[in-house]
Chain A
């Protein structure tokens, strides 16, 4: 009897185990995609932009997700295991999109087995196979999209490190297939952004990352300033970067383009650090002395906006720490600025989802007096800012010299803005055919007073991932540019998906401590500078009272003065070291205190409480 009962129970347990595994498997398939996303930015939920793009599809789009399922199933490599997990995430997202597209999106999942036809198709579509298989077979994880007019685009490889851009990348692919014609962007640049041959280094130059991004998203039409007479009517957005000495015809072309209702994105700079005008291998001074500023004074005047091409904004609150030479301690540079989430405009589609922007030696815009236009800032300095002549920044060999003379004006300077208005021509005297003296409709221009914001060194590092070049962004400058062009090109759906990527949440408290110590350090440093200047003045005074014979011999007074100075210098250096040491100590103390609170405090209180309780109980018993 007992034997039967035991057997029965054991088999029940066995059955239960099988049922358990089966149910887990079933739930994995059945409940796929049903989830509650509690992240602040709803990182894992389809954004409204994606839903809009999916809702607007009117031609069917077919997506093929290629993943080497069999080839990876056996692998024990951790990177391959995580790739399998990532494939699940990609597939779930695609299935979610498929279910929301009202039948207009069809998804098939294909396993391109080695040497199969599917593998050939995947390679032909531009997918990147990575040799991760057990015997070096190529592993695929990519997406190919085809629309009804044979348009074809692909995501060569889904990089797990770029998970936060996953939705955007896929939505971009779908959007690209849905809109048959890409918007055309006219591109006029006074900087070598498009790559090509570099006469200085006699090598090929890589195009800037922002330019590569632009060519992926739009039909880009490079324009030549030298022979620019008019902007084609097919150009939807005109991007002008660092316009230097444009002739009247070129300026007129821009002027008329804006009046016709064209969308303009303009980058000017009082000191474009990547401007190599005057570069001459035989004469390095020529490049240093040449002006690096760009301006369009006539057009700015006509649009009712003020811009000084020789003024750079310094901002103490947003100064970046930079190393002036290898091995040197980083110093805060008030012309190299970082803007983070709280500083950026949240209600503008261009900046709403950005986390970090870096700008360098930027200028500023102001609405001209009596201007009928409307200026909405996108990037604005703090009130701890001032402006200085561009020359001063150019020749400052140490950023701390800029901070030494810093005096906040209390004003906020606008470094990028939207300008709206019914614009008038800057060339009222011209009478070309089809000349417009005034725009028919109110228009909008995007102005940015910095060109360095676009340069790679401000926002991106190129990384090699399994032999494939991947952009690793440390700031959102690229997104800022792409958002701006995209916004002007009229597709705001995509913009709302972008910029989720970098979700860095630094310890603001520690940053504050550093900032405070930095200010103290700066103050001490200035004191030292002042005393140095003072001593030099005194030495000079003593020197002037001497006869010619004595000129090269130090008088006892001078000797004493010098000694005093060296003594004081040592003292101040010590104080400076003390400030640095105290900063580290402050940060360490905070850390130690938090460690104690989190590791020891509650256990300690609990122990004391327990002991007190036991003591009280024992006392009660005695009574």
Chain B
């Protein structure tokens, strides 16, 4: 069997071997449901769409995804199993990819378990299911981007806590790029072209476009590129730290 697939299965299985995974899923579902109904006013709004549901996903992921990602490599490095892993007949790339895909699938499962909201909105009215579908796709892609950042930073440190904090900070910057808070910092030191480029890096802008029902090639490309870039960086960092 393909070593990536084998490793992927082992990793995904390991999530469900401990109660931590269930706790994560339960927290995710409780929070996403509460945000939708209480902060987003889903029921009181009276509109058959899932805008209040997807609106809070970036903020939910900001804390929950780094929590999933922090143990990906930091744990292996701390316990020393990373050497063992890399002596297995898998290339570094396969290991990085397998771990990432397993974690991504795990978040995907959590996302899938929000299906009652989709049934609810179809029960209450006549929503545009195309828009809901792209909302889920966008949410999954954004989770992937968060996760890739988290995975890379998890490889950079032995401490899960530091990995978590670093990931939250970097993800927060990616989320807010395009907002004055971030742009002002860069405006002081960089030319307008760079500032505009940074504004184009915001997760929020790309996610909002997709969750409106349009999958633009550039938004898709953006998320895949972000995932690819951070995974590549992940591999480089492991390679670098292997010697430590």
What is A's interface to B at a CB cutoff of 8 Å? 2, 5-6, 9, 12-13, 16-17, 19-21, 23-25, 27-28, 30-32, 34-41, 43-44, 73-74, 76, 81, 85, 503-510, 591, 594-595, 597-603, 606-607, 610
Contacts and interface: CB of A to CB of B under 8 A. Distances in A.
Given A12-B236, A606-B25, A606-B29, 13 more contacts: A27-B217, A41-B128, A44-B212, A505-B48, A506-B48, A508-B124, A509-B124, A594-B37, A595-B37, A599-B29, A600-B30, A603-B30, A606-B26
Contacts of A76: 180, 183-184
B236 A9 contact: yes
A43 B116 contact: no
Contacts of B184: 76
A592 to B, nearest CB: 9
Contacts of A25: 197, 200
Interface of B is mostly: helix
Interface string B212-244: 111111100110011001001100110110010
A39 B33 contact: no
A20 B180 contact: no
B11 interface: no
Interface in B7-39: 19, 22, 25-26, 29-30, 33-34, 36-37
Contacts, number: 158
29 contacts: A2-B243, A13-B237, A30-B218, A31-B217, A31-B221, A34-B216, A36-B215, A38-B133, A39-B213, A39-B214, A40-B131, A44-B212, A73-B195, A73-B196, A76-B180, A85-B205, A505-B47, A505-B48, A505-B49, A506-B46, A506-B125, A508-B124, A595-B43, A597-B116, A598-B37, A602-B29, A602-B116, A603-B26, A610-B19
Interface in B30-67: 30, 33-34, 36-37, 43, 46-49
B198 to A, nearest CB: 8
A44 B214 contact: yes
Contact of B218 (A32, A600, A601): A32
Contacts of A24: 197, 200-201, 222, 225
Contacts of A16: 229, 232-233, 236
A156 to B, nearest CB: 26
A598 B118 CA distance: 10
Interface of A is mostly: helix
B91 interface: no
A28 B46 contact: no
Given A35-B214, A73-B192, A505 B229 contact: no
Contact of B236 (A13, A85, A600): A13
B217 A34 contact: yes
A44 B30 contact: no
Nearest to B123: A509
Q: Shortest 10 CB-CB distances between A and B: which pairs?
A: A599-B33, A39-B213, A38-B130, A35-B216, A76-B180, A31-B218, A31-B217, A34-B217, A505-B48, A603-B26
B4 interface: no
Contact of A28 (B117, B218, B237): B218
Nearest to A6: B240
B108 interface: no
Interface centre among B48, B124, B197, B200 (most CB of A within 10 A): B124
Contacts of B201: 21, 24
Nearest to A20: B229
B86 interface: no
A91 B226 CA distance: 26
A613 B200 CA distance: 47
Contacts of A41: 128
B2 interface: no
A598 B116 contact: yes
B29 A603 contact: yes
Counting contact residues on chain B (CB < 8 A from A), the size range is 35 or more
A145 B102 CA distance: 54
A255 B108 CA distance: 68
A27 B215 contact: no
Contacts of A508: 48, 124-126
Contacts of A28: 200, 218, 222
Contacts of B123: 509
Interface of B: 19, 22, 25-26, 29-30, 33-34, 36-37, 43, 46-49, 113-114, 116-117, 120, 123-131, 133-134, 178, 180, 183-184, 187, 192, 195-198, 200-201, 205, 212-218, 221-222, 225-226, 229, 232-233, 236-237, 239-240, 243
Contacts of B125: 505-509
A578 B88 CA distance: 72
Nearest to B53: A598
A607 B26 contact: yes
B217 to A, nearest CB: 4
A39 B29 contact: no
Nearest to B240: A9
Nearest to B208: A85
B49 to A, nearest CB: 6
A20 B130 contact: no
Contacts of B37: 594-595, 598-599
Nearest to B198: A21
Contacts of A73: 192, 195-196
A44 B128 CA distance: 14
A506 B226 CA distance: 37
B34 A23 contact: no
B113 A602 contact: yes
Contacts of A505: 47-49, 125-128
Contacts of A506: 46-48, 125
Contacts of A36: 214-216
A41 B124 CA distance: 20
A507 B214 contact: no
B195 to A, nearest CB: 8
Contacts of A598: 33, 36-37, 114, 116-117, 120
A43 B29 CA distance: 31
A163 to B, nearest CB: 10
Nearest to B48: A505
A9 B128 CA distance: 48
Nearest to A1: B243
A510 B218 contact: no
Contact of A510 (B25, B46, B126, B197): B46
A504 B123 CA distance: 16
B27 to A, nearest CB: 8
Interface centre among B29, B114, B222 (most CB of A within 10 A): B29
A597 B148 CA distance: 32
Nearest to B44: A591
Interface centre among B125, B187, B197, B218 (most CB of A within 10 A): B218
A338 B182 CA distance: 48
A607 B19 CA distance: 10
Contacts of A603: 25-26, 29-30
Contacts of B192: 73
A504 to B, nearest CB: 7
Nearest to B221: A27
A5 B128 CA distance: 54
Given A39-B130, A506-B46, A509-B125, A607 B22 contact: yes
A39 B211 CA distance: 10
Given A13-B233, A594-B43, A44 B213 contact: yes
A599 B236 contact: no
Contacts of A602: 29, 113-114, 116
B65 to A, nearest CB: 19
A284 B216 CA distance: 62
A386 B226 CA distance: 63
Contacts of B205: 85
Contacts of A38: 130-131, 133-134, 213-215
A497 B125 CA distance: 25
B20 to A, nearest CB: 11
A280 to B, nearest CB: 45
